[in-house]
Structure 1
């Protein structure tokens, strides 16, 4: 089996523009994360972290582009056409254009990076291109391109296999050791500030005086 070349597929209004790199990247980095907000609860020493959402997966990599043809090779005939160096910025411009809105689609194009088992579909959020070799006339023929992508997340594809229980019906929960009303509120309603609703429903005047094993009623929203 021959060497598989990495390639970029840039979405067009009709079809794809495919860029095949001469040298495969030596590495790439995938980054995942999550966003949280801090909720300050009266009587606690520190805030409670509230999960907001997962972040889009980020892909970072370097590509090396080369359009240089040595003078000795430029005199050779390939299928009746002399080989000549070409301007590598014609390629980098195609990639740079993927960071801007496409007039026909009214949004930046989707870009897919394919190499081996990696098929990463997303948008280009950052591009840095450095030109490292030039002909005598100043035409760039080699470039290093640093790219950062963010994945495209479909709401349909990211639905949880086990969705949260619905908060629209009354439930009961037992407090465990170290658990407060704000913990229950965060788990059930997604907002620790909703502890006030639970306290009011259960006639609790001081949320710091709840005890392990105590059963609390969670009202429907």
Structure 2
């Protein structure tokens, strides 16, 4: 039998290629090369807004900590959700001795709880990587369908449908939960300076001018005065 008729330059789906897709167990670092050659795929973000109401939680970020208080608002934002990702993977082993059942089982095992802390068990965090596309989540389904066999009954071709449930990476939570758009405040301490506050919040010390203007600080050189200690500064959004 000749080379794989679907990919004639390759002997099996595990041939290395910088464009090849792979699934990575982020907890262990193990990677699993897969064949992913879609005609299309979808990736949806959806904003969760509640209906118009009164007396709802409004978020405030003070000194980097998020708190909430009741206030009357219209159409408050809760979170931007990432939809589940469903992909179809393909396995071919025409000439090699690869047992595709073993490789498929490796992916299916990622649906099993393998991480625990006391009585808490969870599945491993996994990422799907394809070129520049990256998706982090838990694998909730891995449905295998074997479609071709050798005369000895060995599977030669299979399809594997994999569904990921999204995990929002820690570094992106501020963006997806809307914390970056919250009203931000800073509690003044005796060691504070406006340029140091600006550098920590905006990563640019020169932005102290916007803080001074927002809070009516006429003499930033003398800040903070004894009367400023404990004061809540409003940290404005910078102009775009």
Within the alignment, does 1:112 sit opposite 2:127 as a pair? yes
- 2:106 alignment counterpart: 94
Contiguous gaps of at least 5 residues in structure 2: 1-16, 55-73, 186-240
Measured against aligned partners, the alpha-carbon deviations of 1:103-135 in whole angstroms (never above 9, x if no partner) come to 567421111111111122221122222111112
CA distance in 2, matches of 1:140, 1:96: 17
SS of equivalent to 2:153? coil
- 2:82 alignment counterpart: 56
Which of 147, 150, 161 is the equivalent residue of 1:135? 150
SS of equivalent to 1:16? coil
TM-score for both structures, normalised by structure 1: 0.53
Contact 1:58 1:151 in 2 (8 A): yes
Change (3 A) 1:27 1:10: farther
Runs (4+) of structure 1 exceeding 6 A deviation are none
CA distance in 2, matches of 1:104, 1:138: 38
Shift of 1:141: 2.3
Shift of 1:7: 1.2
Aligned-CA RMSD value = 3.0
CA distance in 2, matches of 1:147, 1:4: 19
Alignment of structure 1 residues 54-203 onto 2, 5 Å: 54-69=80-95, 84-102=96-114, 106-154=121-169, 157-159=172-174, 160-164=179-183
- 1:175 alignment counterpart: none
CA distance in 2, matches of 1:52, 1:103: 29
Contact 2:136 2:169 in 1 (8 A): no
SS of equivalent to 1:26? coil
CA distance in 2, matches of 1:156, 1:63: 29
Shift of 1:156: 5.7
CA distance in 2, matches of 1:154, 1:4: 24
- 2:44 alignment counterpart: 31
CA distance in 1, matches of 2:166, 2:38: 19
TM-score for both structures, normalised by structure 2: 0.49
Pair member with larger Rg: 1
Contact 1:27 1:61 in 2 (8 A): no
Contiguous gaps of at least 5 residues in structure 1: 42-47, 70-83, 167-221
- 2:200 alignment counterpart: none
SS of equivalent to 2:103? helix
